Structure formats: structure tokens, C-alpha cells
Structure 1
Amino acid sequence: MRIYMSLLFIAVSYISVAQQKITGTITNAQNKPLNGVEVFIEELQKGTSTNENGNYELTNLPNNTFHIAFNYLGYETQIKTITLKEAPIELNIVLQEAVFHMDEVIISTPFNRLQSENVMKVDKVTVQQLKNKGAATLIDGVNLIPGVSQVSTGTGIGKPVIRGLRGNRVLVYSQGIRLENQQFGDEHGLGVDDSSIESVEVIKGPASLLYGSDALGGVLYLNPVKFADDNTFNLYANQSYFSNTQGIGTSIGVKQSYNSWKFLANGAFNQHSDYKTPSDGNVTNSRYNEQIFNAAIGFNNKLISSTARFSFNHSNVGIPEEIGAQNSNTTPLLPYQDLTTKMVSLNTIFYLNNSKISTVFGYTTNDRKEFEEHEHEEDEHEDEDEHEDEFADPSLNLELNTFSYDAKWHLPKIGNFQSIVGVQGMHQTNTNYGEEILIPNATINDIGFLVTSTYDFKNNSSLQGGIRFDIRDLNTEEHLVQHDDEIHTFEALNNDYQNFSASLGYKTLLFKNITSRFNAATGFKAPNLAELTSNGVHHGSNRFEIGNPDLNSERNIQFDVALEYDSKHFELYANGFYNYIDDYIFINPTGEIEDGYDVYQYTQENAELYGGEFGFHLHPHPLDWLHLQSSFETVVGKQRNGDYLPLIPANKLVNTVRTEFNIKNWLNNGFATVTLESNFDQNNVSGFETASKGYNLLNIGAGATFVVSKVDLNLSLNLNNALDKTYVSHLSRLKSDGIPNIGRNFIASLKFKI
């Protein structure tokens, strides 16, 4: 990393300032110039805005092909694909009146195409859109995307579930690198705050071709916050209040961009007390707090575009077990987790004559500590305000260090044919420092080689496919652990896993306005350390876990069909999938007791999952202010023997009525929304699960952006679970204790930007 950084900045110092540029004027249909149109190149993280005459200018651009997005309130977003050579380009744009549908540039797929051009169906949504829908946290927001759910433990812990698959099967990418933080555990959160995220992309289905192991079920791709427009300075801050948890969320950030150099930094603090149920009071120790800091520096000219980012996330999260003491304290009680994640990444694109080379290098360190009550402690008579010694040694202390790399050569385009070859991998070490050992010290090395290609036909159809080969080498140390006066042994492992993965997809226009996508893809997931080597009490999940060193890699094949009908005022979609998995790994109770806890052991069985997402969006004319939306999602998961898989989300129907409005020049982006979320009964449960009853949740929201003396004030108000309905989500880890989910929650958020 140090050598790479040195070479990069030495090279930068010898590069002359380039004058390659794009200029133009943006007007409306009446030929009137538009002031303040956002002009942005996603691939370069570079943008500007039009002046009062509608003029814009982007300089220091490479000789290559990229997408330019033109976005303006009240008008339809336009995205142009531009190929720069030696001469500057003048690109004038006429924006039309807005409709509800806007195209997006997709970053998580290899060719960075528009969604309308992409062979794979990818859902993309901005963080601001999720907040406007009432999302209290990032994972709550992701849960609003059809086909995506979450396994939760109260309000502070949530993990994504994509079409019934979770844990290591869903890979999370942040800053362009893998988010490695012992993510296989259901009992801790993402470790990423929405203050550092601009938008979220979700790939549903196997993405091992693009990302290797752990992308068998899908990918959650988090796009970081954008830099400021060229030659501008931004100061922004956000303050949120959450009535149910008496919580606060505060963030502040600055951005400064020049023609070539860009800088940003932001910090955030979140604090919540125990959440309140509609009928039983507060859930003791569901409180949590976190501190976040992010910084980035970028440089670009006609030869290179490079961005270095750093993120820090520290949180203390209580592990709830009961509805006990009632108060508004925010300091977690025992048991609780102390989690710290630091990420450094360097993303660079080198522009050649007719191609480009993209590289991503990253380093992540994750420090995970769990503190628990010891048998000799008698705190039932103590006031919980007298928190146990927070400096006591943790019972579980894991340090995970990961160096990751990714290099791709985007080969010269030959006619309508384009290819990418690349190599990806990581070096990872896991080290124990606590008195208890759940998983042993270990070293993991991954390397994967891939080639993927796309061909565009003249009839607006595209064919895309590829193949990949991966090798994972996993080595662990032998450990001796005592349980119930007996010595248990962690046998040392030296395992190799080798896997091929492939994908093939076809996009075409079946009929007028009907786009179809057909995809078949294989994926894999090598068994993780917990599945292979667990041998102890996991207090986060309240059970004694035993691994299985003989586990094989999971391998799957998924068939996916997506149909979309688009017109100016109506959108209809139907996505169906069938997913067959060889050697699906899951945990089952053995009926035994160890150290006072139920014993669970990892096992394997072939499995299948199938289902889909269906919905529509109506924007009736001439009622341009009205939007009617509906979505339905379903998934069924079974073992080969006919038994159901555990933790499969219930069917869900969401109906939304939304109005949008603007008032002259002082109120923009005004909206009011009412949503009814209907979760159905879930009776398709595994042998150790209980069925769940259905429930309906009513959510109400409103908001707008106010322009005051050239300062944008964004206000959003949301009332979630407005009727204070008592319910228990099927994917709640507190369901077995009969603890309901959160009750009525009023969320107020105010953000200003200068």
C-alpha cells in the first residue's frame, strides 16, 4: 500500500494540467436557460452546476467513454454517454417536464451502464429517499427495497436478507471494498452509518462472478458520499430526533473541490435508549450509541482519476434479553458489544488510449469485543445506573484484519463487443485476545481470476456473460478450551476451496415498452470460520455453537426472469427466480445442553428457494402531483427432504399513496405519503422455529426543502407504526422470547446545506 501510494503521487506530480473539457447550455422546452442544473459524472465522482445563463463547464477530463447525468428539480433526468478524444465537446441539453421514472448509472456491475441498458436487474435508491420513507437506520432503509429484509435484534442490530439468504451469503461493499467485520454473525449490525453513504445498490442473486465467495445470495453495494461540485465549498449538517427511543442523530460535514483536487470530511454521533413496545414497556438493554468519522481526497485529470477514503465506526450495542428495568439510560448494560471498524481504500482509474485499468486496494481492521456477566457477579440488587466496570476484560475479543485488492483491465471496445479481465483477492487474519474463544486464530487467502464480456445488438438487445475461478486457502491454529470441567479441542485446519462460477444474461425489448431480462448464474460460498470451528458459548445468540470442519462449499445456480413495462405515467414489473443450492449450511439444535446453554451444530443439506417481486407505479395525468405504488414480495425456502429452511421472511405487500408539490421558489421537493405495510402469516418454518402471525403497519410521512437566503433546509417528518400496533417480525431474534418489535416512532430530521 505504501509503495503504491508513493508511486501514485510521484506520477501525479509530473502530470501537466489537462484542458480536455465539455461545455454546453441547458434549457427547457421553451428555450429558457436553467440555473442550478446538477451535471455529474458518476465514474469520475466529478460534477458542476449551471450558472444563471444555463452554461456549464467540466474540465480535466480523460479521453474515454463515460456517462454524464443532468438532474434538475421538476424536470426529467437525462443521461448521455460521451466518448472524448482530443477535441473539446459542446453538449447542449433540453430538459423536459418531469415524469416519475429516472434512469440511473449502476456502479456495482462491471460495465457501469445505465439501468435501462444493464443486463442484470439492480435496484438503486439514494439514502435521502430512504430517509423520506421513514428509515431510522441504513438497514431499516434497505429493508424497504422489495426482495430485501433484515434479521434484527431490537433497533440497534440488523443484517440484510436478500430473497431468503443472509449472513456470509450477502456480500456488503463499502468504499469499493469488501466490508469484513465477522459479518456471518446475526447478532451485530452492518457497522456502517448512512452519514457516509450517498446511495445503495442491491444485486439480487448470485454475484460470485463479480465478487467471488460470499456473494452467493447477492450484494449490497454502498456508494459513498459525493464530492462537491468543481470549485465549490459545501457545509452541511443534520439533526434527527427519534421519539420512541428518545434518540438523537447528529452529523456535520464539509466539502471542497477544485478543478483537479477534491476533499471532504464528516462526522456523526447517534445515541438511543431502550426501545418501547406498544404494550409491554421498554426492552431492557436494547440501547446503543455510535461515533463515526469519514474523510476522502480525490484527484483527476486526463490520465488518471484517484480517490482515497478513510472511515471509522465505533459503537456500543446492548444485547437485549428481556423486558426488565424501565428507564431512559443510554449506556449499555451487560451483556453488550464494543465494536470498532476502520477502513482505508484507494480507488484509481488509469486511462489509456482506448481502454482503462481500474484498481482498488483496501485495508480493514475490525475489533469486536463482547462483555458479559460472570457467575460471581450479583447485580440483581444493584441499580443499573451503576454500570459494571466498563474497562473489565471482555469475554470475547476478536481482531480481524483484511487487506483486499481488485484490478481490472477494461479492454478496447471492438464494434459492439466489450470485455473485462481482472484479478481480485484478500489476505485476512483473525486473532483472539479474550478469555473465551469462539473461533480460533486463523489466516485466509483468497484469489480469483475473471473475464466478462458484453455484446450489444442493433435491436436494443444485449448479451452478457463471463467465467471466474477462485481459490481460498484457510488455516487455523489448534486451541484447547474448557467446558463443564472437560477439555474441548479446536483441531487445526488446513483447507483449500476451489470453485468455478459463471453467468449468462440477455436483455431485450420484447414488445413496445416491455423490457425483459433473462439471467442464469452460478455462485458459491466457502464455509466460514464460525461454521467450521465454533466450539463454545456465543452470548450474542444465547447458545452453545459447534462447528463442522468437514463442511463443503455451498454452490448454487439461479434462474432469474425480469419483465418491466414502462410508459410515461405507468410502470409495471414482475421479477421471478428459482435458486438451487448444493450443500446449504445452516445451524440446528442437537437437544443437548452445554454450560447451561442449548447446543446447536452446523450441518448441510441441499436446498431450493423460489419466489419473486411484483409491483406497479402509477403517475396519472393530469394529476402530476399524485403517485400510487404497490409491491408484493414472496420467497419459499425448502430443504431437499421437504423441511423448510430457517429464517425465511414472510410474504409482504406494501401500498403507498404519495403526493408531491412545489411552491414557487421557496419550497421544493415537497411530499406527503401514507404507506400500509402488510406482513402475512409465516407458517413455513423449520423444526426449531415457531410460526409468526401477520400484521399491518401504517406509516405517515411529509417533508420539503426550504430555500432561505441561498441556504437549503431539508425537513422530513415521519410517523412509523402510527397506530402503535403490537407485532413480532418473523426475522426478529427476540421472537423466541416473545418480545415485540418497536412501537410508534416519530422521526424528525432537519438538514441544512450551504
Structure 2
Amino acid sequence: MYRIFALVIFLSVTMPVNAETELPEITVTAKGYESETLETPHAITVLKTEEIQRSGKTTVGDLLRGQPGIAVNSDGAWGMNPVIRGMKKEQIVILVDGIRMNSAQPQGAIASYVDLSQIARVEVVKGPASVLYGSGAMGGVINFITKGADFSDKPSMSGTLSAFSSTANEGFKAATSVALSNPNHALSLNVSGLDYNDYEASDGTVEHSGYKQSAFSGQYKYRLSSQQTIKIMAQHQNTDDVWYPGSVKFQNKKLGQVIVHSPEQDRDLFNLAYEQDFKGDSSLKLRTELYYHNVHRTIRAFSKNLQRDYVTNDVDFETVGGAVKLEMFPNDEHYVLAGIDAWRMQGNPNRYMFQPPTFNTKLLSNPFENGELVSTGLFLQDEILLEQWTIKLGARYDRVTGNADKMGNGANMQTTGLESTDNTFSWSTGAIYNYSAALNPYLSLAQGYRAADMRERFETSPRGDGYIHLGNPHLEPERNLTLELGMKGQWERTNYTTAVYFSRIDGAIAGRITERIDPKTGFPIKQTENLSRVDLIGLELSLKHALDNHLWLFASSSYQRGENKEDDEPFFQVPPLEATIGVQYLPEQGFNLDTRFRAVSHQNRIATQFSNGTEDATAGFATVELGFGYRFGKTGVKNDLRFTITNLFDRAYHEHLTEGISGQEPQAVGRSFNLMWSMDY
């Protein structure tokens, strides 16, 4: 793997080229407003419309896997959680069009509530981002920006049509979008759907890996005046018949193996925003917004011995929030962003459990009742623009309060002492030196934090992993301090980024396996608690080099290492070393080709004490993807027909972060032949 990566770098600096210079890459997530990535002291990954569309990926996890510094924790084909620099779903913030997606997920992934067919752009900011995004942004932020429309000088219409089929899961998906605009109105509508069956791994079918999904999103913008705009957005996604093969556990002789599944899941989001652009000697921009976000889930635990569900759980996580932000330009040397945001999330699970020993009697057993989290944050960020330096300073104060009417049942029930409030200060500093387009060294030092979520505070009940989990309403927030050094640049034919980082997490929140057994159910007990300290270090590299105007070489690599200082052992589920190299040939019209090779090292640094022996060492593996197609183009219309083969050599493997019975984790998708068609007009 090292030799292959070195070969790519050698080719990139020795082969002749006559390539056009690319436009600067823009991000809106890193600073809260549009800025060039070369002027941002963070490691950032941006995936654009064409990359998303050509990938043919269905889930966020599939799309992001292999990107530098990013891994995927999965419990099924649908339930995939991005992991940024070793930090998992609770420690990163997922945004849709800049709006926080809150939900306490027992199985599955909040990121999977985003349909990639409707996404125009994905921006990933790696490292603490709590100054702008509050609790949970310790590891970073992923912002999914949906396809939309903008105002145009004259009436305009554009849109896309796409279809995709694959052999591994005998699946099919289709999507369409349309955008209408004129000087004062802009409307966009997106509709998509898919139907996937159980997929084939190299050693057989992975049962319960299929699902169905449909989604709709739309937004409308109206220009009240040359300086005022309102925007209304609505999104709905429905996913049916989702199972989580990674949740399979042996419960007891009566129940046998059990598996968690979700017959139905829905996500709804409504947003109203107002923008005012004040122009004068001192420029000022104002943005205010209100939003409502609801995630509804039906969750079941299915017993293979009983051939029926023995746990049913229906729950809504409902969030109402809003924000006011000011962008101020007092002079040419300062760009100030200030604001306040607030949200309230409520959850009230309705759970029934069939009681032992016969499991025929159904009993209400809510893990908690009327849980609530309320967060309010104030932040200030100043970007100082000097001749060659860009310096970014930020600070934030948050107040997060959690409360519930009740937690647990029976002997574990508690109705008092459940309210607690966290007052947290986070900050960030960063500087990038723009020596030239090719050389932009940067340094950042930032502190992020995460307040305990609703389930960690209040859920005291059995879960699908076979344990009784004991909540802790008085958990302290976990905090991390991250130092990052990096270099990024672009010149005539090459773009590159490199970063090294060290992150110290204090008070990491985790469910620790205990030696206690619940006398009523016979299940072992996990206690939610704060760990003393975790250290994470890592290295990331990415490179893209033009051989000519349409032929590119690309490569990336990631290395991470974690230490659990409390247990004096490797940190739980740290991704192994990996590298990706590839070639892409993509002219404006005619034949196109791309291929990528991904190599992942073995991982034998595992947590034995913390995981109670449930984390296994994993072998290394390598996969190859091959794609080719033809682009039919004419004035105003672009058609692409594309054929791809994933896992070309039908390798048998699973990612290190795949959940499942020790030694029996679900295998990754085997060889698949995929056909895609898309049309832009």
C-alpha cells in the first residue's frame, strides 16, 4: 500500500501536463458564510453534485467511506454513521442546509435520514466546531446542502432525471428535480425513491439488509426587495422495513437470537428564514430562522425462537429551534459573525415488552417519560484579514438543561432529581498563512464539547444489544482540546491537503460493561458514565493531479490511533490505516472512465477491558471499483450513461467498525454490477 501511494505522488510531480487552473473551492460550513477553503485553517472535505451523482451511492456512509479522516460505523445496509477522526455519531453534528438534525438514535443513523439523490453538495469540517454549532460538534460537522434554485435575470427552468440499478441487491432507485426562477422568485422541487432487497456478500446473502425509501424536498425563495429575502423549506423522508443485522445478539434460551428492526421511519423538516442585507459605510447582514424537525420511529426487537417481536417501541424526537445571526464588516480587516441560537428537543418513547418466562404478557415499560433537552447558545467569531495571514478567533457560551418526568421502571425507577444544567464555554483559534496558492500552512487550536443526550441521561431499560442500560441524568459534558497542523494548496495542475492532529477528550461519555446482572431479566448491565481521558492522534493526506484537462490522478490516506487512559488500553473502535488511489477521465462529451483502489490495513489495536472482549481484531483488505460510461451532450441538455462494478474481485471482508456478534459481523457487499443514467437540462 505504501509503495502504491508513493508511486502516485511520484507521477504527480514528474508527468507533463497542459491543464486548466480550477476555480477556488468554496465552503459555507467552516466559517458560517462563504469562504475559500485555502483561506480556512481547518481540514475540509467538499463533495460536489457530479461526484455525488456519479458515485451511485445510496447512503451517506457509502459516499463518505474512504475520504481522508472519515470512517463509517454500521449496523446494517441503511444504518451507517460517519465517524470523523475516531469520533462517532454523538460527537459530530449533522446539518441539512445548515439546520441541525437532532435525534437520539438507539439503532441506525441520523445521517441516513438524508437522501443523497436530493443533495447537491456535502461539506465536512473536521475538528472541533462547537463555536458555531454548539453541543456535539467535537469531532466536526457534516452539512448536506440540498438541490435548490436561485434568482435569475430572466425566467429560467432546469432540472435533473436519474435512475440506478444494481445486481448485488436487485435494487432500483430513481430521482427527479426541477428548478424555476426569475428575478424575484426561485422554486425547487425534488422527489426520489428506492427499493433494495437483501444484498449478496461474497459468501452469501446478508439477511434483513433490504429496505424501501422515498423522499421529497422543496424550497421557495422570494425577493421582497433588493436587500430582503425570505425562504421557506420543507422536507419529508419515509423509510420502511429497515433491519439492523449488526444488532443481532443471543439473548437467552427462550428468545434465542434477537434482532432490532424498524418497520417505519419518518423525518419531517420545516424551515422559515429571513435575510436582510444592509448596505452603507459599515456593511451588515442579518439572518433569522425558525425550524421544526421531527423524527418518528417504530422500533422492534424480533426473537428468532418466538418468530415474533417481544419488544415494541414507538417514539418521536421533536425539535423546535431558531437562530439570529449577524455578519458585520466594520472594515477591510475584519469579518465578524455573531449570533444566538436555541432549540428544544422532546421525546416520549412508548415501549411495550413481553414478559418472561412465557413472553406472552405485554407490559408497558417506557425507558423514560417526557424527556426534554433545551439548549441556548451565544457565539462571536472574528476573522482578521491581514496581507498574507488570515486569523480566526471564536468563543461560545452554551446552557443545556435536561429533564424528564420519569426514568426506568420497577426497582430502577426514578422520578426526582432528574433535572440538570450544563453551562459550557467553548473556543477556537486558527491562522493560515497564504504564502502562495501552492503553499498555505495553517495551525488551529480549539475546544469542543458535548452535553449528554436524552438516552444517556434518562434511558434505563434493556436495549437490543442484550444489556440493561442504566442512564445517568447528572453526566458531565465531555470536552476535547484539539491541536491541528496542516498544509493545503493548489497550483497549475495539483491540489493537495495534509494535516496532523492531536485531540484530548476529557470525560468521554460511554456505556461501560459491568459485572452486575439484572435479577429480573437476567441481562448484564451497562452503566453510562464519564471516562477520565481519551487521546486521539492522526494523519491525513489527499492529492489530486491533472495529467491533462480531463484526466486526473487522485490519492488519499488516513491514520488514526487512540488511547483510553482510564483503562490503559487502545480506545474502542478506532479505524485502521487506509489509503485510496484512483484515475478519472472525464471529458465534456464522449467516453469516460474512472477506477479506484482502496487498501485497508489490519487492526489489532482493540479494546479488551472496555468492550469486555466484544471488539475483534480485523484483517486487512483491498477493493477495486471500476466505472466507465458515455456522455451525450448537446446545447442545454446533458445525458450520462454509466456502468460500474464495485468490489470487482468479490472480496470477503467487513469494516473494522461494523457492529455484530463477535466473529460473525455482517460481510460487506460482494461484487455488484450497476447501471446508472442521468440527464441534466
The TM-score normalised by the length of structure 1 is: 0.78
Which letter maps to 1:751? S
Distance 1:608 1:185, change over 3 A: farther
- Tell me the residue number matched to 1:245: 169
Which letter maps to 1:405? G
Q: Where in structure 2 are the equivalents of 1:491-570 lying within 5 Å?
A: 492-510=417-435, 513-539=438-464, 541-570=465-494
Which letter maps to 1:402? T
Query: What SS is found at the alignment partner of 2:28?
Result: coil
Which letter maps to 1:289? K
Alignment partners' CA distance in 1, 2:561 and 2:381: 31
CA RMSD, 1 decimal: 2.6
Alignment partners' CA distance in 2, 1:542 and 1:715: 47
- Tell me the residue number matched to 2:648: 722
Q: Report the Cα offset of residue 216 of structure 1.
A: 1.1
Does the CA contact (< 8 Å) of 1:439 and 1:533 recur in 2? yes
Which letter maps to 1:581? I
Q: Report the Cα offset of residue 220 of structure 1.
A: 0.3
Number of corresponding residues: 626
Q: Report the Cα offset of residue 131 of structure 1.
A: 3.7
Please give the per-residue CA displacement for 1:508-529, whole angstroms capped at 9, x wherever unaligned.
Answer: 1346721111111111101112
Q: Where in structure 2 are the equivalents of 1:393-432 lying within 5 Å?
A: 395-432=312-349
- Tell me the residue number matched to 1:749: 676
Does the CA contact (< 8 Å) of 1:734 and 1:740 recur in 2? no
Please give the per-residue CA displacement for 1:276-305, whole angstroms capped at 9, x wherever unaligned.
Answer: 1101x1111111111111111111241212
Q: Report the Cα offset of residue 128 of structure 1.
A: 2.7
Alignment partners' CA distance in 1, 2:622 and 2:601: 9
Distance 1:216 1:596, change over 3 A: same
Query: What SS is found at the alignment partner of 2:648?
Result: coil
Does the CA contact (< 8 Å) of 1:722 and 1:745 recur in 2? yes
- Tell me the residue number matched to 2:370: 441
Alignment partners' CA distance in 1, 2:446 and 2:602: 31
Q: Where in structure 2 are the equivalents of 1:576-655 lying within 5 Å?
A: 576-594=500-518, 595=521, 597-605=523-531, 606-620=533-547, 623-641=548-566, 642-655=568-581
Alignment partners' CA distance in 1, 2:529 and 2:174: 44
Which letter maps to 2:32? P
- Tell me the residue number matched to 2:405: 477
Which letter maps to 1:232? S
- Tell me the residue number matched to 1:67: none
Distance 1:133 1:479, change over 3 A: closer
Alignment partners' CA distance in 2, 1:202 and 1:187: 17
Query: What SS is found at the alignment partner of 1:519?
Result: strand
The TM-score normalised by the length of structure 2 is: 0.87
- Tell me the residue number matched to 1:213: 135
Alignment partners' CA distance in 1, 2:284 and 2:199: 53
Distance 1:616 1:479, change over 3 A: closer
Q: 1:159 aligned to 81, 104, 112, which one?
A: 81
Q: Which moved more, 1:267-276 or 1:137-146?
A: 137-146
Distance 1:491 1:272, change over 3 A: farther
Which letter maps to 2:278? L
- Tell me the residue number matched to 1:363: 292
Which letter maps to 1:607? V
Q: Report the Cα offset of residue 627 of structure 1.
A: 1.8
Q: Where in structure 2 are the equivalents of 1:189-268 lying within 5 Å?
A: 190-227=112-149, 230=152, 231-268=155-192
Does the CA contact (< 8 Å) of 1:576 and 1:613 recur in 2? yes
Alignment partners' CA distance in 1, 2:508 and 2:81: 19
Distance 1:152 1:131, change over 3 A: farther
Which letter maps to 1:473? T
- Tell me the residue number matched to 2:217: 294
Does the CA contact (< 8 Å) of 1:577 and 1:610 recur in 2? yes
Q: Where in structure 2 are the equivalents of 1:708-719 lying within 5 Å?
A: 710-719=636-645
Alignment partners' CA distance in 2, 1:557 and 1:463: 19
Alignment partners' CA distance in 2, 1:243 and 1:543: 37
Q: Report the Cα offset of residue 187 of structure 1.
A: 5.9
Q: Report the Cα offset of residue 616 of structure 1.
A: 2.4
Distance 1:677 1:732, change over 3 A: same
Alignment partners' CA distance in 2, 1:718 and 1:542: 40
Alignment partners' CA distance in 2, 1:275 and 1:512: 46
Query: What SS is found at the alignment partner of 2:112?
Result: coil
Alignment partners' CA distance in 2, 1:219 and 1:282: 34
Distance 1:196 1:507, change over 3 A: same
Q: Where in structure 2 are the equivalents of 1:641-680 lying within 5 Å?
A: 641=566, 642-663=568-589, 667=590, 671-680=592-601
Alignment partners' CA distance in 1, 2:266 and 2:296: 5
Does the CA contact (< 8 Å) of 2:246 and 2:665 recur in 1? no
Which letter maps to 1:717? F
- Tell me the residue number matched to 2:625: 699
Please give the per-residue CA displacement for 1:646-674, whole angstroms capped at 9, x wherever unaligned.
Answer: 121111111112223344xxx4xx53112
Query: What SS is found at the alignment partner of 1:560?
Result: strand
Q: Does 1:683 align with 2:600?
A: no
Q: Where in structure 2 are the equivalents of 1:80-91 lying within 5 Å?
A: none
Q: Report the Cα offset of residue 183 of structure 1.
A: 4.5
Which letter maps to 2:217? N
Does the CA contact (< 8 Å) of 1:167 and 1:186 recur in 2? no
Query: Which structure is richer in relative contact order (CA contacts within 8 A, separation 6 or more)?
Result: 2
Alignment partners' CA distance in 2, 1:708 and 1:570: 30
Distance 1:143 1:738, change over 3 A: closer
Q: Where in structure 2 are the equivalents of 1:82-121 lying within 5 Å?
A: 99=20, 101-108=22-29, 109-121=31-43
Q: Does 1:130 align with 2:52?
A: yes
Please give the per-residue CA displacement for 1:510-557, whole angstroms capped at 9, x wherever unaligned.
Answer: 467211111111111011122222211222x44332223332111111
Q: Report the Cα offset of residue 745 of structure 1.
A: 1.9
Query: What SS is found at the alignment partner of 1:661?
Result: coil
Which letter maps to 2:287? S
Distance 1:321 1:113, change over 3 A: closer
Alignment partners' CA distance in 2, 1:502 and 1:554: 15
Alignment partners' CA distance in 2, 1:337 and 1:538: 17
Which letter maps to 2:233? R
Q: Which moved more, 1:501-510 or 1:564-573?
A: 564-573
Does the CA contact (< 8 Å) of 1:554 and 1:585 recur in 2? yes
Which letter maps to 2:59? T
Q: Which moved more, 1:153-162 or 1:490-499?
A: 490-499
Alignment partners' CA distance in 1, 2:394 and 2:306: 60
Q: Report the Cα offset of residue 269 of structure 1.
A: 1.2
Q: Report the Cα offset of residue 147 of structure 1.
A: 0.8
Which letter maps to 2:603? Q
Does the CA contact (< 8 Å) of 1:443 and 1:474 recur in 2? yes
Please give the per-residue CA displacement for 1:617-659, whole angstroms capped at 9, x wherever unaligned.
Answer: 2223xx4443222211011111124312112111111111222
Does the CA contact (< 8 Å) of 1:441 and 1:476 recur in 2? yes
- Tell me the residue number matched to 1:181: 103
Q: Does 1:320 align with 2:245?
A: yes
Query: What SS is found at the alignment partner of 2:423?
Result: strand
- Tell me the residue number matched to 1:330: none
Q: Does 1:284 align with 2:207?
A: yes
- Any stretches of 5+ residues in structure 1 without a counterpart? 1-96, 324-332, 380-387
Does the CA contact (< 8 Å) of 1:526 and 1:553 recur in 2? yes
Alignment partners' CA distance in 2, 1:566 and 1:661: 21
Query: What SS is found at the alignment partner of 2:120?
Result: strand
Query: What SS is found at the alignment partner of 1:739?
Result: coil
Does the CA contact (< 8 Å) of 1:615 and 1:630 recur in 2? yes
- Any stretches of 5+ residues in structure 2 without a counterpart? 1-17, 249-258, 353-364
Query: What SS is found at the alignment partner of 1:411?
Result: strand
Percent identity between the aligned chains?
19
Q: Report the Cα offset of residue 609 of structure 1.
A: 0.6
- Tell me the residue number matched to 1:384: none
Does the CA contact (< 8 Å) of 1:565 and 1:573 recur in 2? yes
- Tell me the residue number matched to 1:8: none
